[in-house]
Amino acid sequence: MAKPLTDQDRRKQISVRGLAGVENVADLKTNFNRHLHFTLVKDRNVATKRDYYFALANTVRDHLVGRWIRTQQHYYEKDPKRVYYLSLEFYMGRTLQNTMVNLALENACDEATYQLGLDMEELQDIEEDAGLGNGGLGRLAACFLDSMASLGLAAYGYGIRYEFGIFNQKIVSGWQVEEADDWLRYGNPWEKARPEYMRPVHFYGRVEHTADGVKWVDTQVVLALPYDTPVPGYRNNIVNTMRLWSAKAPCDFNLKDFNVGGYIQAVLDRNLAENISRVLYPNDNFFEGKELRLKQEYFVVAATLQDIIRRFKASKFGSTEFVRLDLSTLPNKVAIQLNDTHPALAIPELMRLLVDIEKVPWEKAWDIVIRTCAYTNHTVLPEALERWPVDLFQNLLPRHLEIIYEINRRHLERISKLYPGDTDRISRMSLIEEGDVKKINMAHLCIVGSHAVNGVARIHSDIIKSTVFKDFYEVDPEKFQNKTNGITPRRWLVMCNPGLAEVIAEKIGEDYIRDLDQLKKLLEFVNDDAFIRDVAKIKQENKMKFAAHLEAHYKVKINPSSMFDVQVKRIHEYKRQLLNCLHIITLYNRIKNEPNKPWTPRTIMIGGKAAPGYHTAKMIIKLITSIGDIVNNDPVVGDRLKVIFLENYRVTLAEKIIPAADLSEQISTAGTEASGTGNMKFMLNGALTIGTMDGANVEMAEEAGEENLFIFGMRVHDVEALDKKGYDAVSYYNRVPELKQAVDQIAGGFFSPSQPGLFKDLVNMLMHHDRFKVFADYEDYIRCQERVSALYKNPKEWTKMVIHNIAGCGKFSSDRTISEYAREIWGMEPSLEKIAAPDDPR
């Protein structure tokens, strides 16, 4: 019997083209069996599915190792400038399939597993997501690692190996319940512990100013144990490294104090030190000023900088004996990119290493720091900006506090010279905020200590220059840049949507995977009936596949010919899932009023996690599930409207839902979403966008043509004008009957009949203190959704608009983003050159 066409078959068609000498299937089978026997110590008779997954992972990993060693050897010999991407989050998802795609092994592995009587997709499903991130910021870091390797940059991702990543979300009676994400329970085949590079990290203690210089003494030491994960470039034989630090107590921890009979307790107390890398803080766009979080931030920075300086000093430089002792050339060989302010302590820590340890004079050290460091801002929401209490620093990092004070003294001296007598400006620009509790403004520290500061979409970069960091922009305009975010087309097209990747390759060849701008060539086929049919057919297949997934895993049946209207992202007031809810209720009321009209059927899917302490966000989830309970069980509505809350949204679920979506909801209040990257993933995968002129939506409309997106709502200037005038939600409520009806239904218990007052706080917020002006955009949103429904009734015109969107995606490759960082911030040149494979002669 013929084997059915799978996603692997589709990718195989791409992979095989022009690739001679792909790993022999027989060898893969041999190695698979060898790993099952010798690595996992299992006989085929007793092996489980998980054993087979580990055998396959180890077999694929073997193909990385030679390339990994050779890449690092290549860097050692050539001694290029290296870039260090410092981030508290790397939201990697699964590794197996991505590795097979980038190494062109997927076809061979699929055939090998098939011949062994196994189903590769089933094995892939056993892998745990590496959920070491909250959302956009952590996933951006992961896309950047893929692009840096694919562009041949000597790059390293540095972060924390959290034992527990972002929590698993369960929905119980419509409420979010969190479960610990024990992702390492069965082991991680992709990481390699490197105990030989363990580093000490110091906390607490006191500072002594001696004749020999400054000493930080009587500290508590925690060891940082590195784990390395390979990061393969796309078919260029380069494998870079992500190094994540794990906290380990030293052997003498709490024993040197010799508390008699306290030996057992001292060993148990080792946990306190090791808690540093225990768990990811689950907040997105929100600052929680806890001591453990500050410890995490210093831990990653201190361990990483020791590693950077060790590597800088040891790198081969013409001869094996040479060791660099002069640190003044550091900025020629090292670039450090700070992913938000979370690793801001890199600035004072590098100063401490240069001044206190390496005895470099302050002015020279400060010049080195500025030329080495650069800072990416990710948000303008005030509640997200990091402001650490001075007394926390005084206790935990006393030397760093002194250094920050000195940085601030010199900074304010400069400002005073530029603006004599302008005390307001001086207090606004200080790194220290005075008040009930003195606080350190970490964004100000990053701006002062960096040679480049960037936002993550054009509109966001403009906003930081004209508002939050205006004073700094006036003093140093040359520091401020824009680097619009991007996504990797390897994971977010080739891997998750092989059917679409293939129909594109049939028209324009395969090179677009490395050079996404080539998608522009699809404009030639916008009126090609066969191509239109192919694109629509792939979308329908993806929808059927996702519908089957929902039925298998969540026992919900949906209509695959309905429009899949999707909003997946963290639950946050600024992202306005509540505006989506108001549309759902309005649509429901309209269907109930005119049940015989030919409504465009929709399946509205909303997914995302709420921070455990964010009460409003948790209520929003409960509202969505409650609306679903009413709508989905109303026989008058039938399958013309269904509301699904997608439980436990994460990278792996995104890879399934995004290729199946028809409509992408990007509806934040203008001026609040710095960029967004989900918006780009939907666009690349053939969904149309309904959105505000916010974040990267602005540039998406520019690239695809504004007429090919459904743009609605206030622009930034409208929001500012409304703020000046004063936003009065009640006036919209009184003026717009359908809005009033929907709000009254929520408030009156229509969606919570057993607890009529359940949503009164939510309604009170919308009516009286809604910072994000949901009602102000309601009417235009509803009108825009009517245009969406009308176009969906004309599949050919809809698909032509889809093709315009895909053709406009080139700019949103993270390869373009990283090329700009490399040339304009890091002083490095990206390259599409392949290096020799391990089995090639050098």
Q: Report residue 630 as tokens.
A: 């009413």
Residue with tokens 């998406």: 700
In order of 406, 429, 444, 447, 644, the CA distances from 419 in angstroms are 20, 12, 18, 19, 57
Phi, psi of 215 (to 5 degrees): -125, 135
- Tokens 């606080």 correspond to what residue? 439
| Known catalytic membership, residue 609 | no
User: Which two three-digit tokens encode residue 119?
Assistant: 């189903």
Q: In what order do the strands lie in the sheet with 432-433?
A: 387-389, 439-441, 432-433
Q: How does DSSP assign 114-132, residue by residue?
A: HHTT--HHHHHTTSPPEEE
- Candidate list 199, 569, 800, 816, residue with the active-site label: 569
Task: Say how far apart CA 323 and CA 705 lie, in whole Å.
Answer: 55
N-to-C CA span, the chain: 46
**What gap in Å lies between CA 199 and CA 197, rounded to an integer?**
6
Of the listed 400, 483, 575, 811, which one is catalytic?
A: 575
793 CB-contact burial (10 Å; exposed 0-12 / middle 13-18 / buried 19+): exposed
- Marked catalytic residue, from 411, 681, 800, 804: 681
| 6 catalytic residue (yes or no) | no
- Find out whether 486 and 830 touch, Cβ atoms under 8 Å: no
- To the nearest 10 degrees (0 to 180), the angle between helices 760-768 and 615-631 is 110
What's the burial of 25, exposed, middle or buried (CB within 10 Å: 0-12/13-18/19+)?
middle
* DSSP alpha helix (H) spans, 116-217: 120-124, 136-150
Taking the mean position of all CA atoms in its chain, how far away is CA 1? 43
Radius of gyration for the chain, computed over Cα atoms and rounded to the nearest angstrom: 28
Q: Is 681 one of the annotated active-site residues of the chain? A: yes
The alpha helices in 269-329, defined as continuous H runs, are: 270-274, 291-314
Token pair of 104 as six digits: 């062109």
CA distance linking residue 703 with residue 699, whole number of Å: 6
Angle between helices 529-554 and 498-508 (to 10 degrees): 170
Tokens coding 819: 């090329």
Length of the chain counted residue by residue? 842
* Catalytic residue flag (residue 569): yes
Phi-psi domain of 762 (left: phi exceeds 0; alpha: psi -120 through 50; beta: other): alpha
Q: Which among 94, 243, 378, 465 is annotated as catalytic? A: 378
The answer to whether residue 467 is catalytic is: no
Q: Are 759 and 745 in contact (CB under 8 A)?
A: no
Pairing of strands 206-210, 688-691: unpaired
Is-contact 362 355, C-beta < 8 A? yes
Report residue 473 as tokens.
């922009």
Question: Going by C-beta distance under 8 Å and a sequence separation of 6 or more, which residues neighbour residue 455?
Answer: 376, 377, 461, 462, 463, 464, 482, 483, 674, 675
Instruction: State how far the Cα of 726 lies from the Cα of 509, in Å rounded to an integer.
Output: 54
The partner residues of 225 in beta bridges, in order of sequence, read 246
Rounded to whole angstroms, how far apart are CA atoms 662 and 639?
17
Task: State how far the Cα of 582 lies from the Cα of 584, in Å rounded to an integer.
Answer: 5
Selected catalytic residue, list 342, 570, 650, 811: 570
Token pair of 551, please? Answer: 């039925």
Pairing of strands 199-203, 220-232: antiparallel
Nearest of 632, 631, 628, 660 to residue 647 by alpha carbon: 628
- In whole angstroms, give the CA distance from residue 284 to residue 574: 12
What's the rounded Cα separation, in Å, for the pair 305 and 372? 12
Catalytic residue among 95, 229, 672, 677: 677
Count Cβ atoms within 10 A of the Cβ of residue 726 and give its class: 0-12 exposed, 13-18 middle, 19 or more buried. exposed
Q: Is 811 a catalytic residue?
A: no
**Both tokens of residue 268?**
């148990």
Q: Which residues are catalytic?
A: 378, 569-570, 575, 677, 681
